[in-house]
Structure 1
């Protein structure tokens, strides 16, 4: 496609979008909704509230249903992993970790094998 034909196509799309936008601007329902939004925003500013506050006032279950968070979840909405405490019987070294990518644990697994290192878990906490 040549640059000129591409330009003409984009120009045609722009005119079409401008016509659609003009039709929306003349829509009575849209005007009412925009007025309501402006009035609501002004009220929220006057009372120091944000959208989340208003939604929670109108629907108390809004926070739980929209965020998906539970009481025992971390900041990103996922359940916290259990804390595992490993004790190396050869060196008596203790390592606490919530994930499987701990450098020391990975080194132990490479040296002694996964099954043996897993048997070194001395405590698990939620």
Structure 2
């Protein structure tokens, strides 16, 4: 895209956004929200409270609901034990992950796809 075309496209988007902004400025509901927020912040400043204080006052359970997902993310299903048997040497390796030294050596020597085919079910 040429610089001129990009400029004109951005100019068009800016004009659309300015039009949307002007439309919102005339909205009575927005004016009421702005007035409410202004008065609320003045009241909070007057009494030395913050929005967190008000949230905790009106909904004491809100802080415990925010922390609940953090507790569930730490639990996961334990990994299952996998058993590989090398058909060349007859050696057996049992592991719960793919970071086993012997398993890595086999994958380097024989290829990962072939070693995965040695998995016992």
Q: TM-score range by the shorter chain?
A: 0.5 to 0.7
Aligned-residue offset at 1:78: 5.7
Q: TM-score, normalised by structure 1?
A: 0.53
> Which is helix-richer, 1 or 2?
2
- How many angstroms apart in 2 are the aligned matches of 1:33 and 1:67? 29
Deviations along 1:27-66, whole A, 9 cap, x unmatched? 1001000100011111111111111110011111111112
Distance 1:46 1:68, change over 3 A: farther
Structure 2 residue matching 1:23: 3-state secondary structure: helix
Provide the aligned length of Structure 1 versus Structure 2.
74
* Structure index of larger Rg: 2
Equivalent residue for 1:61? 61
Say which structure, 1 or 2, has more relative contact order (CA 8 Å, 6+ apart): 1
Unaligned runs of 5+ in 1: 70-76, 80-126
- RMSD of aligned residue pairs (Cα, Å): 2.1
Unaligned runs of 5+ in 2: 73-121
